[in-house]
Amino acid sequence: MQLQSSRRALDAPVRLALCAGLMAFALTAFTPDTQANTKMYMGVKIKPLMKIKVGDRGICKTVFQGLTVSTFRFHVKGILFNYFPRQHLILIASNDPKLKLAGVVAGMSGSPCYIGGGLAGALAYGPNWSKRPIAMLTPIRYMLDELKRKNRGLKGTPTLSLKQPSSTLRGKAQRSVSTGRGRGTGLGLGLGRLARKPTRAGRALARQLLGWKNPRNPLSPWFRSIPAPRSARVRTGVAGMRRMSVPLSVSGFDRLTLKELAKDLKPYGFTVVAGGGSSADAMRYYKKPKRFVNGGSIGVQLVRGAISMNGTGTVTLVKGNKILAFGHPMTNWGEHYIPVTSSWIHMFMPGYASSYKISTALGVLGSLVQDRRPCIIADTSKRAPVIPVKVTIVSRGGGKQDYSFEIFSNRNATHYYLQYVMRSLLRRAVPDTVNTTISARISMDVTYPKWGRTVKKTVTLDDYIYAGKGAGFGFRIGTTRGFRILRFLMGQNLTRVSVSKLRIRIKAEKTIRAATIEDVRLDSNVVEPGQVVNLRVKLRRHLGQGRYVKTIPVVIPSHVVSGTTIRIDVAAGPSAVVDAAPVYAMTDVWRIIKRMYHARQLVVRVMLPAEGTSVNGRIISYLPGSVLDSLRNGSSTKKRLLHRASFRKALVLPDVLSGSKRIYVRVERRP
């Protein structure tokens, strides 16, 4: 009896194993989608597009909560050929109970989908309006082909990289000046070459380098301030499929700024979501993972620190140190370098218009290297450069508050996101909607190559602003000189400039220190050459705080010919015109920056009848008539080459000034 019972006990696991084997054989033998319909491509077992049939069933991997990868089922509805130029998409639908409430949500972009044991593609596109979990897959082969693309490196990307200008115009000007072979002038200044009509490319380069969009700001950037390229825009009002939105998890923003940011980023495929910040406490609490996994969460981090912005998606495939994700572009920047992180998924947030994942960014695990139409590619062996920013806000009620964060580096978009960060910090630190006088200091450490060596320079600019609605609502950091120079340095085409550190200090005082230029007077409208005249400027303080007169002595040049009329301009610093020649090197840029005025400066400019020109970035104020005649060989060259001679005088006043006035006087030499 004991022997028979022991045999039955031994036979039980054997019978279970045989049954399991027979069931597996039956499933393999009678399933229409067998392993024979898969193949190896670039070392990955994939499901070829033409082997996928309508009705095929499969599974997708994504994270529903935490870091755990889960699955949901789907079935194929068909293939949409040439949905994009030379790119097909796979149409799927799902009846899985996990998607019944929220459907296909923002943040699932890149979820790997398998059919018959082979990787078919990544979840990437969804309908504009749909009550069912319907989506489209980007075939995996298009994503794997992006791995064949060679990276150019930092010097060939928008990350801390600037396009080198053509040396044609600058080289000609330099050779002409240095050799002293100016044609038709005899001055050795190379004016003969400048007098000739330049080529179309030369004129375009001069306009681009000078950036004369606003004559009062010669270094105004010539590019639009946009959060992403135009190719990243999504037409949400057109029926059909569009790429799934990327939930941009933002922390540290107030509700009003969050709403403004969401409105601006919605056309570019972002869903702005209030989420958790990437801090040391978050990484300790949620236990930062050490690596990416297929179907796990991935985040592209634009800002981290006191303020956090992190675009969340899903990993499609881990291939060595390369990570394929999203299944569609994030912003279509091409080759770009931005930190990528892991993310902790809290939950799915269902919504009527769109549903999304709520997440918290954890630690940095690599760098984005490619942002293309089929997918984004990250590299865990690289680290993206960022710009450290320190912000100090001082006010009487709030004291001194320091904020530190790091922002991604992009020549066209970094300043855009920085403005929103500063707007949110100001509304938090100085929320009072009262009359406020603000002093802002922006200091930046920059490096750039010059003659085979690296030059380090610190640029510091002070600005003064009067905000009648308070610092958080009436002050825009984008209007300051320091911010405009930052935009110019990151976007200019002279040389590759890197911003290594940025410091911003803002002091807010709840006082009214603002005045407008109301009137300008002279004792007489007839003056003599060499005479010192008293220019009386009448200023009116805001909100009925009275008026006062500032007397400025102005010397009329002794060489002015009797009988001529000269113009005198009086303006606040931001409204004062800065004389600037087309820039050819960073030395010219620093020279122009020194001439720019802040809002507490009262600038008097005396326009003289003499004319000059610019050579190699410098203005020659006075030229003989014969030289000027040689330069006037066409009606359109006067604006490009000739400059009106002038001299100026600037005074610093205690008020933030605005407005400008102009008067004319006649010069007469008395006997």
Could you tell me which residues come within 8 angstroms of residue 176 by beta carbon, excluding any fewer than 6 positions away?
A: 182, 190, 192, 193, 194
* pLDDT at site 185: 32
* pLDDT at site 275: 86
Residue identified by tokens 């269902």 is 350
pLDDT of 139 strictly over 90: yes
* pLDDT at site 86: 86
The whole-angstrom separation of Cα 141 and Cα 44 is 10
**Where does the pLDDT of residue 225 fall: very low under 50, low under 70, confident under 90, or very high at 90 and above?**
low
The whole-angstrom separation of Cα 270 and Cα 249 is 10
Q: Which of 205-219, 278-292, 562-576, 642-656 is most confident?
A: 562-576
Between 24 and 261, name the one with better pLDDT. 261
Give CATH superfamily name and number for 37-145.
Trypsin-like serine proteases (2.40.10.10)
pLDDT of 2 strictly over 60: no
* pLDDT at site 629: 59
**Where does the pLDDT of residue 178 fall: very low under 50, low under 70, confident under 90, or very high at 90 and above?**
very low
pLDDT of 54 strictly over 90: yes
Nearest CA among 421, 418, 389 for reference residue 252:
421
**3-state SS, residue 578:** coil
Residue 517 tokens, joined:
């230029």
Nearest CA among 435, 332, 423 for reference residue 376:
332
* pLDDT at site 385: 92
Residue identified by tokens 């600038």 is 603
pLDDT of 560 strictly over 90: no
Rounded to an integer, the average pLDDT of 49-72 is: 95
CB 284, CB 253: distance < 8 Å: no
**Where does the pLDDT of residue 222 fall: very low under 50, low under 70, confident under 90, or very high at 90 and above?**
very low
- The C-alpha angle 189, 195, 196, rounded to 5 degrees, equals 125
Rounded to an integer, the average pLDDT of 399-407 is: 94
pLDDT of 45 strictly over 50: yes
Query: Residue 248 forms beta bridges with which residues?
Result: 272, 311
* pLDDT at site 143: 97
The whole-angstrom separation of Cα 418 and Cα 126 is 31
**Where does the pLDDT of residue 582 fall: very low under 50, low under 70, confident under 90, or very high at 90 and above?**
confident
Of 12-21, 36-45, 512-521, 593-602, the one with minimum mean pLDDT is: 12-21
The whole-angstrom separation of Cα 65 and Cα 348 is 8
pTM comes to 0.80
**3-state SS, residue 512:** coil
CB 261, CB 268: distance < 8 Å: no
- The C-alpha angle 411, 414, 416, rounded to 5 degrees, equals 120
Query: Residue 620 forms beta bridges with which residues?
Result: 613
Q: Sort strands 514-521 and 532-541 into parallel, antiparallel or unpaired.
A: antiparallel
Phi, psi of 590, deg, nearest 5: -65, -35
Between 491 and 383, name the one with better pLDDT. 383
Between 345 and 36, name the one with better pLDDT. 345
pLDDT of 638 strictly over 70: no
DSSP state of 542: G
CB 12, CB 20: distance < 8 Å: no
Percent of the chain with pLDDT over 90: 49
Give burial (CB, 10 Å; 0-12/13-18/19+) of 264: middle
Residue 395 tokens, joined:
């006010």
pLDDT of 152 strictly over 50: yes
CB 516, CB 659: distance < 8 Å: yes
pLDDT of 284 strictly over 90: no
Of 173-182, 269-278, 488-497, 588-597, the one with minimum mean pLDDT is: 173-182
The whole-angstrom separation of Cα 243 and Cα 109 is 9
pLDDT of 191 strictly over 80: no
Q: Which of 97-101, 203-207, 404-408 is most confident?
A: 404-408
Domain residue ranges of the chain, discontinuous segments joined by +: 2-30, 37-145, 236-386, 387-509, 514-667
Residue 261 tokens, joined:
């940011």
The whole-angstrom separation of Cα 106 and Cα 242 is 12
**Where does the pLDDT of residue 90 fall: very low under 50, low under 70, confident under 90, or very high at 90 and above?**
very high
Between 626 and 3, name the one with better pLDDT. 626
Phi, psi of 260, deg, nearest 5: -65, -40
Could you tell me which residues come within 8 angstroms of residue 639 by beta carbon, excluding any fewer than 6 positions away?
A: none
**Where does the pLDDT of residue 235 fall: very low under 50, low under 70, confident under 90, or very high at 90 and above?**
low
Max intra-chain CA distance, the chain: 146
The whole-angstrom separation of Cα 314 and Cα 354 is 17
CB 529, CB 562: distance < 8 Å: yes
Of 6-15, 196-205, 487-496, the one with minimum mean pLDDT is: 196-205
* pLDDT at site 204: 44
**Where does the pLDDT of residue 29 fall: very low under 50, low under 70, confident under 90, or very high at 90 and above?**
very low
* pLDDT at site 190: 32
